[in-house]
Amino acid sequence: MAFIDILKAKAKANKKTIVLPETEDRRTYEATAKILAEDIANVILVGSEEAVKKGSEGLDISGAVIVDPATSEKTQGYIDKLVELRSKKGMTPEQAKEILLNQYLYYGVMMVKMGDADGMVSGACHSTADTLRPCLQILKTKPGTKLVSAFFLMVVPDCEFGANGAFVFADSGLCQDPNPEELAAIAASSAESFELLVGEEAKVAMLSHSTMGSAKHALVDKVVEATKIAKEQYPDLKLDGELQLDAAIVPSVGKSKAPNSTVAGQANVLVFPNLDAGNIGYKLVQRLAKAEAYGPVTQGIAKPVNDLSRGCSADDIVGVVAITAVQCQAADK
């Protein structure tokens, strides 16, 4: 069974309700038809009946719930709650109404906030900033989490490394230049996400162009410090660094370059020193190794809301919805 099929099976076992607000995009409807056909999740589409009917022409989305902000009986409650949440920022009822009737991403996040949906997936035609802004304003961070970060779940075909080719790459979508404390927090969140989605023990490599002091530079020092902080704050986490990529995932190289490490050569969670490295890394693996890349999946938000690459396919949306549903299941516990 393909890895994404395992996640879909998990999602089907305890179906959640996911809101898809980007009803201006055909891929949303194509994904919705597949999600419903495979019975992965319940789907809410935000938009007018007329617009949804036109956009989904030729597709069977009859199982989806369509919510029109202009006519929904719940819209006023969302307006009132948004004013309450943003009152210190000067939000007025008129402004809240304008936002919720015209910015469907905000409406979708309010549905999650109010418990009318379990999670949301967006980003096919919006930037990461546009997707995450309402989440951070309305849902805030998860208790005990130091920052919101993002990862890609990478599944590399015919790969003996990682967890049979499955990896988490972080941060590959959000935090541009994390400091050592933030890198440590990203490592902890990414390990938790890996274990939730893959079901195996996380082995975290703090990546660098240096392995165990082989190079001297301020960029290396940042990763060394992050590793020290992570080991102090998360002593039960199997984590090591600083490690070059080959030393992190190839057993023979890990044994040669870092013989005393319990992670070297076995890593399945790769924490990159900055967003440049993480973003370039995941796209190299996706394009050259023909890997499946699901994300950017966010971690650290109070309720599951996930971003999409604007170059995503309908199948990518289906995969991220399955991931979001599994995160929603975990949030219930």
CB atoms inside a 10 Å sphere around CB 245: 18
From residue 56, alpha-carbon distances to 28, 49, 53, 322 in Å are 9, 11, 5, 21
Average pLDDT, the chain: 92
From residue 279, alpha-carbon distances to 73, 211, 274, 284, 285 in Å are 42, 21, 9, 9, 10
> Where residue 183 falls among pLDDT bands split at 50, 70, 90?
very high
From residue 139, alpha-carbon distances to 103, 135, 194 in Å are 16, 5, 23
> Where residue 64 falls among pLDDT bands split at 50, 70, 90?
very high
Q: Distance between CA 26 and CA 29 in Å, rounded?
A: 5
Q: Tell me: the pLDDT tens digits for 210-226? A: 999 888 898 999 999 99
Q: Tell me: the pLDDT tens digits for 226-260? A: 999 999 999 999 999 899 999 999 999 999 999 99
Q: Please give the order of strands across the beta sheet that includes 42-46.
A: 65-67, 42-46, 17-20, 119-121, 305-306
Whether residue 333 is predicted with pLDDT greater than 80 in this model: the reply is no
* Average pLDDT rounded to a whole number, residues 52-59: 93
222 Cβ contact list (under 8 Å, min separation 6): 179, 180, 183, 273
From residue 17, alpha-carbon distances to 14, 35, 41, 249, 322 in Å are 10, 11, 6, 37, 11
Residue 179: alpha-carbon gap to chain centroid: 21
Q: Quick one: which H or E segment has residue 310?
A: none
| Proportion of the chain in helix, strand, coil states, percent, rounded to 5 | 45, 15, 40
Which residue in 189, 97, 68, 78 sits closest to 138, CA to CA?
78
CA angle 71, 43, 120 (to 5 degrees): 90
> Where residue 59 falls among pLDDT bands split at 50, 70, 90?
very high
Which one has a higher pLDDT value, 133 or 205? 205
Parallel, antiparallel, or unpaired for β 292-299 and 149-155?
A: antiparallel
Q: Distance between CA 249 and CA 89 in Å, rounded?
A: 47
E strands in the chain:
17-20, 42-46, 65-67, 119-121, 149-155, 166-170, 204-207, 239-243, 269-271, 292-299, 305-306
Predicted confidence at residue 144, as pLDDT, reads: 79
DSSP 86: T
Q: Distance between CA 121 and CA 18 in Å, rounded?
A: 7
Whether residue 1 is predicted with pLDDT greater than 70 in this model: the reply is no
- One DSSP character per residue, 213-249 reads TSS--HHHHHHHHHHHHHHHH-TTS-EEEEE-HHHHH
* Most confident segment among 15-19, 22-26, 134-138, 288-292: 15-19
Which residue's entry shows tokens 């940042």?
222
Q: Distance between CA 130 and CA 176 in Å, rounded?
A: 16
260 Cβ contact list (under 8 Å, min separation 6): none
Rounded to 10 degrees, what is the CA torsion of 35, 309, 176, 279?
100
* Most confident segment among 82-96, 227-241, 304-318: 227-241
Single-letter code of the amino acid located at 60: D
